[in-house]
Structure 1
Amino acid sequence: MELLDKDLSSIQEVRNLIRRASAAQKVLADYSQAQVDALVEAMARTGEANATRLAEMAVEETGFGKVQDKITKNLIASKHLAESIRSMRTIGFISEDPVKKMQEVAVPYGVVAGLVPSTNPTSTAIYKSIISIKAGNAVIISPHPSALKCISETVRVLRETLQSLGAPADLINVMSQPTLEGTSELMKNSGTGIILATGGSAMVKAAYSSGNPALGVGPGNVPAFIERTADIKKAVSYVLMSKTFDNGTVCASEQHVVTEHVIADQVKAEMIAQGCYFLNEVETAKIERVIMGPKGGLNAKIVGKPAVEIARMGGLEIPADTRVLVAEQGRECVGKQYPFSWEKLSPLLGFYRTTDAHEACELCLELLNYEGAGHSLAIHTQNDDLVREFALKKPVSRLVVNTPSTHGAVGATTGLPPAFTLGCGSVGGSATSDNVTPLHLFNKRYVAYGIREPQAPSLAQAAANQSSATEMDIEAITRMVIERLKAL
């Protein structure tokens, strides 16, 4: 009975939050672009000022990742995000074409349901709050239960910031009793305008089947192809920088290194020189058992943990300065029975050798189609023609070139918009292939003036049409008379 009470209480809390958010959003609807921008800038400053404290809380509560890297993620979600959207028009009339005599008006969704994972809790909460309000919406955060404290504290400081500027605090809120039933109510409630779903595949699918508009993110399973023309030392450093960032908890981090036989030994030697430990066959089998959880999926105990700790889980003692565990995989080792071909959310990499770029292209395709279709792929090469070939054939929404995949995909080292919701397109079951920004959180109302007079048929054309119709009638009557005479 206690569980039932908690579930019912969670559902009622969500309904109350939606009513409060709707009322707050009605106030925001009367704000000008300048007033909304002032809120966003203040929220970004708050995120930046609290970046370290919130990162420490996140690591302490969840046990995932590294404090320094979570600080970086908090800064991307606040300072860098605000910089990238500063000039974006999102309120009222947002564009006008004097030639076509058309205008566009931004129409907010109203209330955004923001699902926030435990792997990137505080940064995702900051990011979703800022883009929601920038687009004229209120937002209700559904936190992962294992990150409730740090997410709630993030929301608290953002609410205080809004209040200090005279805006309604209920523009941002968070469920205090996160349950599956409560989150389901948040997604399905008619008062919810749109869902931003960042989390497991089951939650994303639930968002898309809720009956409300949704933008979700599927799993990442990023291959990194190091091609023969690549700067091997730099390529390896980028892969390891990305893979060890927050201990691999970002879905855009590399999961596999794919390279060509002609340079494979050089790539392997460089990876070892930069802190990788290549597992032998026996050790690989032990770590595979650690990767696989009791129900056959990914073992949550390895997520965001350092390589040395994961090795100990498998009964291995490895050098203390090991950054990443690597297992060489045969060309055929892709699928459920090969855990190193999965998305591992930890400093673990599969290592594949291929004959040439064509075979590497096919292998990357297999890895993505197994898991991670629509997400991201990294390539290290000086061959721009090959980049174009990959861009045309790979089922991904982001192809990042000569940069760490994690940093490139979220917009830290590329021109992509800073984001922690990375659309996977239709191939990945997502409604967008974009890095989600405030532009995805409002509809457009079009104002269109008449610019051409309707063309009425001319008198001559009307007479010609009438004459043609008359001739057709006479011909039809004549044929009918002839047919009847023949019958006599």
Structure 2
Amino acid sequence: MVTLDKDLASIQEVRDLLSAAKSAQQILAKMSQEQIDQICEAMATAAYEAREKLAKMASDETGFGIWQDKVVKNSFASKFVWNYIKDMKTVGILNEDSEKKVIDVAVPVGVVAGLIPSTNPTSTVIYKALIAIKTGNAIVFSPHPNALNAILETIKIISEAAEKAGCPKGAISCMVKPTMQGTAELMKHDYTSLILATGGSAMVKAAYSSGTPAIGVGPGNGPAYIEKSADIPLAVKRIMDSKTFDNGTICASEQSIIVETSNKAAVIAELKKQGAYFLSPSESAQLEKYIMRPNGSMNPQIVGKSVQAIAQLTSLSVPKNARVLIAEETKVGHKVPYSREKLAPILAFYTVENWEEACALSMDILHHEGAGHTMMIHSQNDTIIRAFGLKKPVSRVLVNTPGALGGIGATTNMAPALTLGCGAVGGSSTSDNISPENLFNIRRIAYGVRELEDLREEPSASNNSSSINEEQLVDTIVERILAKLQ
């Protein structure tokens, strides 16, 4: 009975939040670009100023990651994202083509449902709220219960700043009684126009099956190929930077390393030099038991944990200065834990003979898990880089850059985002790094430039030519007959 009451209370809360968001969005939709931008700038500034406080709250509440790295993520989600989108046209007339006589007008989608994971809770809230308000949309958040307090505090800070800058109350809100039933109501309600789903596979599938348009992301499982022409010390540094950043909680981070026989020894030596610990076969088998749960899902006990915490959990004895755990692997599959996504400082290590084998292996890994997401290649050979880019079933092929930071657009020039589309191959509605441009529709005002008569087909030149030739032939025959008669 208590559970039922909680579910009913959560559902009612969602309905109330959506009603307020609907009213607020109607006000937002009438605002100018300048008014919207003033609100967004206030939100970004407030979030940036609270970046350290929110990072510590998220780390303390979830037990995931490193708070200092979460400060970087909060800075990225506020300051970095705002600098990218601040001059973007998202309200009113976007473009007017006087020659083609077509005018593009931005139309907000309405109320957005924002699903927030526990791995990147505060930064994802900041980012999603910014791109929603920037496009004249309201947003209602469904928080992960394990990060509820940090998420609520983030929303409090940015919504208060937004309202002081002129944003209508209710445009940014969050469930405080999160339940599965309440979230289902949020996704399926008529007032919800679009779902931005960031979370586990089950949540993303629920979003797509809700009947409401959705932008969701699947799991990442990016392999990193160190091709023989690569700068090995720099490639290893980038992989280590990425895999240790916030203890591997960004889904674009590397999950496996692929090397060639010719550079294997050099890569292993460099990995060890930079703090990687290679597990023995028995240690590898010991850790393997903790990576996945019996139902095949990732074990939350290792997510975002340090090497030392994982070693303690699994009764492994590893050096105190170890930064990443690496297990040599030869197999790929759903029942091969090292070949799957591991949001922790754990990597699989594969060896191939050449780049063609690396190409096939990376595709095998991705087709088992992570299709549509991200992969990395470290190489100085443009021919091989392009071959990978043309063939891989991913939306992002990152070249000579850390996966976690390159995928979200921090160390590359892709759109900065904490929701990364996986395209059709990954079961997603888009392959984009989600930006404001994904959160409005375009109304086109198009002037007529042709009449019906202009569309009717004229007799073709070949038909005219044929007709002329036949007439000439008849005239010739008549002339010959008349000549004979004379």
Instruction: Quote the Cα distance in structure 1 between the aligned partners of 2:3 and 2:41.
Output: 41
Identify if the C-alpha distance between structure 1 residues 137 and 263 changes in structure 2 by more than 3 Å, giving closer, same or farther: same
* 2:112 and 2:193 in contact (8 A); partners too: yes
Instruction: Quote the Cα distance in structure 2 between the aligned partners of 1:184 and 1:308.
Output: 38
Structure 1 residue aligned with 2:269: 269
Structure 1 residue aligned with 2:348: 350
Structure 2 residue aligned with 1:12: 12
Instruction: Quote the Cα distance in structure 2 between the aligned partners of 1:55 and 1:191.
Output: 32
Amino acid at match of 1:77: A
Structure 2 residue aligned with 1:73: 73
Q: Deviations over 1:395-416 (max 9, x none)?
A: 0000000000111010101000
Counterparts of 1:352-367 in structure 2 under 5 Å? 352-367=350-365
Identify if the C-alpha distance between structure 1 residues 456 and 154 changes in structure 2 by more than 3 Å, giving closer, same or farther: closer
State the Cα distance separating 1:127 from its structure 2 match: 0.4
Structure 2 residue aligned with 1:469: none
Instruction: Quote the Cα distance in structure 1 between the aligned partners of 2:272 and 2:254.
Output: 17
Instruction: Quote the Cα distance in structure 2 between the aligned partners of 1:191 and 1:456.
Output: 44
Identify if the C-alpha distance between structure 1 residues 369 and 457 changes in structure 2 by more than 3 Å, giving closer, same or farther: closer
Identify if the C-alpha distance between structure 1 residues 457 and 443 changes in structure 2 by more than 3 Å, giving closer, same or farther: closer
Q: Give TM-score scaled by structure 1 length.
A: 0.93
Amino acid at match of 1:334: V
Structure 2 residue aligned with 1:451: 449
- SS at 1:43 equivalent: helix
State the Cα distance separating 1:453 from its structure 2 match: 3.1
Amino acid at match of 1:226: I
Structure 1 residue aligned with 2:474: none
Percent of pairs with identical residues: 54
Counterparts of 1:223-372 in structure 2 under 5 Å? 223-330=223-330, 333-372=331-370
Q: Deviations over 1:167-189 (max 9, x none)?
A: 21311000001110000000000
- SS at 2:262 equivalent: helix
Amino acid at match of 1:246: D
Instruction: Quote the Cα distance in structure 1 between the aligned partners of 2:194 and 2:335.
Output: 37
2:392 is the alignment partner of 1:391:
no
Amino acid at match of 1:204: V
Q: Deviations over 1:436-459 (max 9, x none)?
A: 00110011111000122331699x
Instruction: Quote the Cα distance in structure 2 between the aligned partners of 1:214 and 1:13.
Output: 22
* Residue from 412, 416, 437 that aligns with 1:439: 437
Which of structure 1's runs of 4+ aligned residues deviate more than 4 A?
A: none
- SS at 1:35 equivalent: helix
- SS at 1:350 equivalent: strand
- SS at 1:147 equivalent: helix
Instruction: Quote the Cα distance in structure 2 between the aligned partners of 1:141 and 1:283.
Output: 42
Structure 1 residue aligned with 2:49: 49
Structure 1 residue aligned with 2:472: none
* 2:39 and 2:166 in contact (8 A); partners too: no
* RMSD between superposed Cα atoms in Å: 1.4
Farther-moved stretch of structure 1 (285-294 vs 298-307): 285-294
Which structure 1 segments of 5+ residues have no match?
A: 465-488
* 2:155 and 2:172 in contact (8 A); partners too: yes
Amino acid at match of 2:406: G
Structure 2 residue aligned with 1:212: 212
Structure 2 residue aligned with 1:414: 412
Instruction: Quote the Cα distance in structure 2 between the aligned partners of 1:266 and 1:169.
Output: 59
State the Cα distance separating 1:337 from its structure 2 match: 2.3
Structure 1 residue aligned with 2:153: 153
Amino acid at match of 1:382: Q
- SS at 1:152 equivalent: helix
Structure 2 residue aligned with 1:142: 142
- SS at 1:262 equivalent: coil
| Residues paired across the two proteins, number | 460
Instruction: Quote the Cα distance in structure 1 between the aligned partners of 2:165 and 2:373.
Output: 38
Amino acid at match of 1:438: P
Amino acid at match of 1:429: G
Structure 2 residue aligned with 1:163: 163
State the Cα distance separating 1:313 from its structure 2 match: 1.5
Q: Deviations over 1:332-361 (max 9, x none)?
A: x11122111110100000000001000000
Q: Deviations over 1:274-314 (max 9, x none)?
A: 00000001000000011122434221100000012112222
2:409 is the alignment partner of 1:403:
no
Structure 1 residue aligned with 2:484: none
Instruction: Quote the Cα distance in structure 1 between the aligned partners of 2:193 and 2:280.
Output: 52
Instruction: Quote the Cα distance in structure 1 between the aligned partners of 2:412 and 2:169.
Output: 34
- SS at 2:187 equivalent: helix
- SS at 1:246 equivalent: helix
Amino acid at match of 1:384: D
- SS at 1:127 equivalent: helix
Farther-moved stretch of structure 1 (448-457 vs 60-69): 448-457
Instruction: Quote the Cα distance in structure 2 between the aligned partners of 1:229 and 1:184.
Output: 50
Structure 2 residue aligned with 1:201: 201
- SS at 1:229 equivalent: coil
State the Cα distance separating 1:159 from its structure 2 match: 1.2
Structure 2 residue aligned with 1:117: 117
Q: Deviations over 1:32-57 (max 9, x none)?
A: 00110111111111111000000000
